[in-house]
């Protein structure tokens, strides 16, 4: 009996094991809950400290960085104005050159003595612009009828420029179309694919084809976007989106290229052109003139 009693003391019953494990499990769960309850408090303290420190640090960095940065930009712009690039005999390829901004840029380059390659879909308009450019002083002008929405055309007109002149100094990505209409009123969003094909992908594909040649001459890309890329206006959702994409693409490309190729992004507001006179891409995808809407947009 004594041995049995001693054996019973040394080897607890299964029920004793169960109770012990239950107590251990309960203690573990309680500790886990306490740790979980402390984590949000710790995270709140960390976030609070970061919020308190980040704002003064950001303001201090802006105060230190922006004044010298803008002073540098001001001095650089002033020197660029005093000593502009010599464009005489430089080769300039302009897309969307048959009217509007592209046409006027062609005339400005012509007065500086640049050689021009003009691209647009309307050949007869290009011929008129080319004749005027000759009168203003361009030593040579070629016209390249084509559509920047077609990647093959983009490759073709860049190669045609190289074949004719042997070099490329400036690429002006100016081709663009606009659309009008509230998004919820659009019957089929695929009707607006040409907007992105021309305004965004046309500039991207032209740049891709021209970039190797621009690197050789340490040339420049000039991109005509729009102020709507920064401040969108109602009823032009795809036009706004295309310009925002265009701006961000070339801002990124500028940081990648560094000083190899210069990039100038132009974001004009309302100007006198076919688009501002009411020529838009309508809901069904066709081009129409809406003079009343033009007046409403411009005020």
Residue found under tokens 């005339």: 107
- Give, in degrees to the nearest 5, the angle at Cα 246 between 229 and 202: 130
Q: 211 with 248: CB under 8 angstroms?
A: no
What is the model's pLDDT at position 80? 74
- Give the burial class of 7: count Cβ atoms within 10 A of its Cβ; 0-12 exposed, 13-18 middle, 19 or more buried: exposed
Cβ atoms < 10 Å from Cβ of 99: 18
Instruction: Give the relative orientation of helices 151-165 and 202-217 as an angle to the nearest 10 degrees.
Output: 30
Which domains, and CATH codes, for the chain?
Answer: 87-298 (3.40.50.720)
Closest CA to 92 of 246, 219, 276, 256: 219
Task: Annotate 61-125 with DSSP letters as a single string.
Answer: HHHHHHHHHHHHHHHHHHHHHHS----TT-EEEEESTTSHHHHHHHHHHHHTT-EEEEEES-HHH
Q: Which pLDDT score, from 0 to 100, does residue 38 have?
A: 52
Q: Kindly list the averaged pLDDT for each block of 10 residues, start to end, along the chain of length 299.
A: 43 48 49 52 72 80 82 81 83 96 96 97 95 96 96 96 98 90 85 91 98 97 92 89 96 95 91 56 47 44
| Active site amino acids | 239
What is residue 299's predicted lDDT score, i.e. its pLDDT? 38
What is the C-alpha to C-alpha distance for residues 229 and 87, in angstroms, rounded to an integer?
Answer: 29
> Two tokens at 37?
């309850």
Task: Report the alpha-carbon distance of residue 221 to residue 198 in Å, rounded.
Answer: 17
């Amino acid at each position: 009996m004594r041995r049995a009693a001693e054996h019973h003391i040394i080897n607890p019953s299964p029920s004793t094991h169960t109770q012990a494990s239950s107590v251990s499990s309960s203690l573990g769960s309680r500790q886990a809950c306490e740790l979980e309850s402390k984590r949000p408090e710790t995270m709140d303290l960390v976030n609070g400290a970061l919020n308190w420190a980040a704002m003064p640090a950001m303001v201090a960095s802006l105060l230190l960085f922006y004044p010298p940065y803008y002073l540098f930009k001001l001095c650089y712009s002033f020197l660029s104005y005093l000593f502009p690039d010599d464009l005489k005999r430089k080769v300039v390829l302009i897309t969307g050159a048959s009217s509007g901004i592209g046409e006027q840029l062609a005339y400005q380059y012509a007065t500086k003595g640049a050689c021009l390659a003009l691209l647009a879909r309307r050949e007869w308009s290009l011929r008129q612009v080319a004749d005027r450019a000759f009168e203003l002083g361009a030593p040579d002008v070629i016209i390249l009828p084509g559509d920047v929405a077609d990647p093959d055309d983009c490759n073709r007109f860049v190669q045609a420029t190289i074949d004719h002149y042997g070099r490329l100094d400036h690429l002006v990505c100016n081709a663009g179309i606009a659309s009008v209409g509230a998004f919820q009123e659009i019957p089929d969003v695929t009707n607006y694919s040409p907007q992105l094909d021309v305004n965004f992908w046309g500039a991207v594909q032209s740049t891709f084809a021209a970039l190797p040649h621009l690197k050789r001459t340490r040339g420049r890309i000039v991109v005509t976007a729009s102020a709507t890329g920064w401040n969108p206006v109602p009823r032009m959702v795809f036009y706004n989106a295309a310009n925002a994409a265009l701006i961000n693409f070339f801002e990124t490309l500028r940081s990648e290229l560094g000083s190899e190729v210069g990039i100038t992004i132009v974001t004009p507001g309302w100007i006198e052109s076919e688009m501002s006179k009411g020529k838009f891409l309508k809901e069904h995808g066709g081009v129409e003139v809406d003079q009343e809407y033009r007046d409403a947009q411009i005020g």
